[in-house]
């Protein structure tokens, strides 16, 4: 994180802490889906890093697919109106589906996505989110696997961006106000 140290006011999660937590969650998932093939659905673009690490950590047969959605339109406030920018390639009929997200903020994106995928005939649809901000929740999302509950601050790294920057940081940090002020 050295080259952007001035842009971060605090490092919340190190690369090691994230990997350790993903390994723990993977052991739970392996038990819960033992003997089955799991379809991991990553939500572009934030979930790319957690998807890549989770998929390689899991000792289960998996498939990976991706969706891109837009929930914010042109405004800064999440509207709850979600548009599909890229749909899945897979048919969900009879599949065990695990949605993989980097963060639950207001919860509006995931509550819409969960309902949308549940309507496609899957055998089950569950959610894994690496991060969750309990104090930012506008709707309650039933998450099966949560990595970390974090404070309601602007965080970047490990897939999470501010203006499309910082996604490639290996850890997660709190963005310093001077960056967006
Ligand atoms: C971010 C994040 C989640 C969503 C969470 O994605 O990656 O997908 O917002 O917010 P919510 O709980 O308030 O709906 P964003 O729309 O910024 O797109 P990105 O993943 O491409 O950065
Ligand atoms: Mn996202
Ligand atoms: Mg974003």
With 0-12 / 13-18 / 19 or more C-beta atoms within 10 angstroms meaning exposed / middle / buried, residue 176 is middle
- As beta bridge partners, residue 44 has 68
Return the ligand number nearest the Cα of 132: 1
Nearest CA, atom 13, ligand 1: 106
CA distance 126 to 141: 10
pLDDT of residue 97: 98
Return the ligand number nearest the Cα of 105: 1
Q: How many helices (H) and strands (E) does the chain have?
A: 4, 9
Q: Confirm whether 105 is a catalytic residue.
A: yes
pLDDT of residue 181: 85
107: CATH: 3.40.50.2020
pLDDT of residue 79: 65
Q: Is the CB of 147 under 6 A from ligand 1?
A: no
3-state DSSP percent of the chain in helix, strand and coil, to 5? 30, 35, 40
- Residue 170 belongs to a domain: no
DSSP annotation of 173 reads E
CA distance 91 to 121: 9
Find the catalytic residue in 53, 102, 105, 126: 105
pLDDT of residue 5: 84
pLDDT of residue 4: 87
Joined together, the tokens standing for residue 118 give 């549940």
Domains identified in the chain, total number: 1
Which of the listed residues 72, 82, 105 should we mutate to test ligand 1's pocket, taking the one with most ligand atoms within 8 A of CB?
Answer: 105
Question: Structural domain of residue 24, as residue ranges?
Answer: 16-151
Which of the listed residues 71, 112, 136, 137 should we mutate to test ligand 1's pocket, taking the one with most ligand atoms within 8 A of CB?
Answer: 71
pTM for the whole structure: 0.95
- Residue 147 belongs to a domain: yes
- Residue 172 belongs to a domain: no
- Residue 171 belongs to a domain: no
Nearest CA, atom 3, ligand 1: 103
Ligand 3 center–CA 160 separation, angstroms: 6
ipTM for this model: 0.98
- Residue 169 belongs to a domain: no
Q: Is the CB of 126 under 6 A from ligand 1?
A: no
- Residue 138 belongs to a domain: yes
- Residue 158 belongs to a domain: no
Within the chain, which residues score under 70 in pLDDT? Answer: 1-3, 72-80
- Residue 162 belongs to a domain: no
């Amino acid at each position: 994180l050295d080259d952007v140290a001035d842009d971060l006011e605090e490092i919340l999660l190190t690369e090691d802490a994230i990997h350790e937590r993903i390994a723990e969650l993977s052991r739970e998932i392996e038990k819960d889906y033992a003997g089955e093939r799991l379809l991991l659905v990553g939500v572009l673009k934030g979930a790319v890093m957690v998807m890549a690490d989770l998929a390689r950590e899991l000792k289960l047969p998996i498939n990976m697919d991706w969706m891109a959605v837009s929930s914010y339109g042109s405004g800064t406030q999440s509207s709850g109106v979600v548009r599909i920018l890229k749909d899945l390639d897979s048919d969900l009929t009879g599949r065990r589906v695990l949605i993989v997200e980097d963060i639950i903020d207001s919860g509006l994106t995931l509550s819409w996505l969960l309902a949308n995928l549940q309507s496609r005939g899957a055998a089950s649809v569950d959610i894994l989110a690496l991060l969750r901000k309990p104090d930012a929740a506008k709707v309650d999302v039933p998450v099966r696997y949560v990595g970390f509950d974090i404070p309601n601050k602007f965080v970047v790294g490990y897939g999470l961006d501010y203006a499309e920057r910082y996604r490639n940081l290996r850890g997660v940090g709190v963005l310093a106000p001077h960056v967006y002020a």
